[in-house]
Amino acid sequence: MSQADPKATPPATPLKEWPLWEVFVRSKQGLEHKHCGSLHAADAGQALNMARDVYTRRQEGVSIWVVPSAAISASAPDEKGLFFEPAADKIYRHPTFYEIPDQVGHM
Amino acid sequence: MYTQSFNVPDTTEPTGAKAPLSLVGVVSPLSEQDAAAQTRFDTKLNADQKIEPQDWMPEAYRKTLVRQISQHAHSEIVGMLPEGNWISRAPSLKRKAILIAKVQDEGGHGLYLYSAAETLGTSRDQMLADLHSGKAKYSSIFNYPTLTWADVGVIGWLVDGAAIMNQIPLCRCSYGPYARAMIRVCKEESFHQRQGYESLLTLMRGTAEQQAMVQDAVNRWWWKCLAMFGPPDSDSPNSVQGMRWGIKRISNDDLRQKFVDATVPQAEVLGVRLPDPDLKWNEARQHYDFGAIDWDEFWATVNGNGPCNKERLATRVKAHQEGQWVREAALAYAHKQAQKNSLKQEAA
């Protein structure tokens, strides 16, 4: 995901740039939309049109979402441990934690 | 269409091939916190894991990537010009449609790459400003003219062929957004090479004049394509650090050799002669030997003295300036629509 780096230096010129959008494409009916990149566009309609031209020139998609990059909240990389590690010691959440006699067959 | 090895210092950076290495040598001592982050970074690289935009990275790694990815993006965009030159003069509707699709792809490749560079904290405007001021470099290969229709075929076959050689290892680059952009680019690049080769096959089945035109184009482009892989390993101190960081996976000379080995049989099928009297199979090495590259010409072009440097840059700047009102109008329209919508919502 293209997240703006908070420590990044501001652009040399005041922001005249079109805002940044994240693009999600559903590759075929029945599958989820997946993040595939980002682009600059003045508004949502233009972002959709440009996403079509940039990311689906070879029938890579049947549906597109565009989201202003600024609207995405992301988990902090520094708190990765704090945030995700509590799941690490809960191995009883996985089916392989349980031993079932062979004669039961597939379960 | 481009090649990774064109990672040369930009104009304001110290020039001369040896400068970047000395920069690496004068890293100031790290704070304890940074040292821990550096260790985590090194561990990730050693385990062949990807670095993502929000992860800590050494400043030199970030700078190298910004330079390399933006040079790569610029090359895609400037690379549209020599081929775009032939869109209006393509010999058939079929070839015209193919060429438009290819040039559009190059624009798309530029966009993927600009986006990847932006994740490192630089802005699109900044990168374009650096290109337009002449500070940022782009691949030298695009500073040569496309004199005949056969040049379009040869660019697809040889220039894009060389680019593919270079870009495939970049799909495994340590920086996630760059690697992902390269995967997308590589998927599309094969069409570029095949359409070029097929177009040349058609010409070679034509008249003696058409065949001579192909041979002439090959003569003009061959050595420039070999130079695209960058200076010899003995003269590219940048490469060592690039390898250590997992940005570069295969050395310039190894890639160049791979390209020559792959291309010779293709030239035989096509029926063209590669313009190198020293080109011959070496049974002991199990590779083709080839002659010496004119590096003086390469550096002269990199440093702004190629036949089309000024023209290419002027065309880019003009296109950007002429698009200014469109960019402003689109923003103004978007603001107006947003205002209208919020007024409507208040009224409701």
- Residue A6 confidence (pLDDT): 43
Residue B17 pLDDT class (50, 70, 90 cuts): very low
- Residue A88 confidence (pLDDT): 83
- Report yes or no for ipTM above 0.90: no
Beta strands of B189-327 (E only): which ranges? 280-282, 287-289
Fold observed for domain A15-74: Ubiquitin-like (UB roll) (3.10.20)
B274: distance to nearest CA of chain A, Å? Answer: 34
Contact B161, B263 (CB under 8 A): yes
Cα separation, B90 vs B291, in Å, equals 34
B97: distance to nearest CA of chain A, Å? Answer: 14
Give the residue-averaged pLDDT of B100-128. 96
Q: Strand pairing of A20-26 and A33-40?
A: antiparallel
Q: Which residues of A touch B (CB under 8 A)?
A: 1-5, 7-9, 11-13, 16-18, 20, 37-40, 42-43, 46, 53-54, 57-58, 74, 76-77
Q: What percent of chain B has pLDDT over 90?
A: 82
Residue B32 pLDDT class (50, 70, 90 cuts): confident
Pick the closest to residue B293 from B217, B223, B234 (CA basis): B223
Residue B8 pLDDT class (50, 70, 90 cuts): low
- Residue whose token pair is 């080995």: B261
Helix ranges restricted to H, B271-323: 295-300, 309-322
- Residue B12 confidence (pLDDT): 54
Cα separation, B67 vs B137, in Å, equals 9
- Residue whose token pair is 């990730």: B44
Nearest to A43 among B53, B54, B334 (CB): B334
Pick the closest to residue B51 from B245, B242, B184, B244 (CA basis): B245
CB contact under 8 A, A57 and B108: yes
B235 has pLDDT over 60? yes
- Long-range contacts from B89-97, C-beta under 8 angstroms, 24+ separation: B89/B149, B90/B149, B90/B152, B91/B149, B95/B199
Pick the closest to residue B297 from B215, B235, B228 (CA basis): B228
Provide, as residue numbers in chain B, all residues whose Cβ is less than 8 Å from the Cβ of A38.
115, 118
Cα separation, B208 vs B224, in Å, equals 25
How distant, in Å, are the alpha carbons of B64, B160, B238 from that of B242? 8, 23, 6
The answer for B 84-143 residues in CB contact with A (under 8 A) is 101, 104-105, 108, 111-112, 115, 118-126, 129
- Residue B9 confidence (pLDDT): 61
- Residue B33 confidence (pLDDT): 81
A35, burial (CB in 10 Å: exposed 0-12, middle 13-18, buried 19+) = middle
Tokens representing B172? 């495994």
Residue B347 pLDDT class (50, 70, 90 cuts): confident
- What are the backbone dihedrals phi and psi of residue B138, each rounded to the nearest 5 degrees, phi first? -140, 170
**Which residues is A26 bridged to in the sheet?**
A33, A63
A70 has pLDDT over 70? yes
Cα separation, B122 vs B114, in Å, equals 9
For chain A, say whether B333 makes contact (Cβ under 8 Å). Answer: yes
Give the residue-averaged pLDDT of B31-37. 84
B33: distance to nearest CA of chain A, Å? Answer: 12
Contact B245, B60 (CB under 8 A): no
Prediction pTM value: 0.87
B310 has pLDDT over 50? yes
Residue of A nearest to B326 (CA): A42
A13 has pLDDT over 70? no
What would the pLDDT profile of B277-298 be if each residue is shown by its tens digit?
A: 999 999 999 999 999 999 999 9
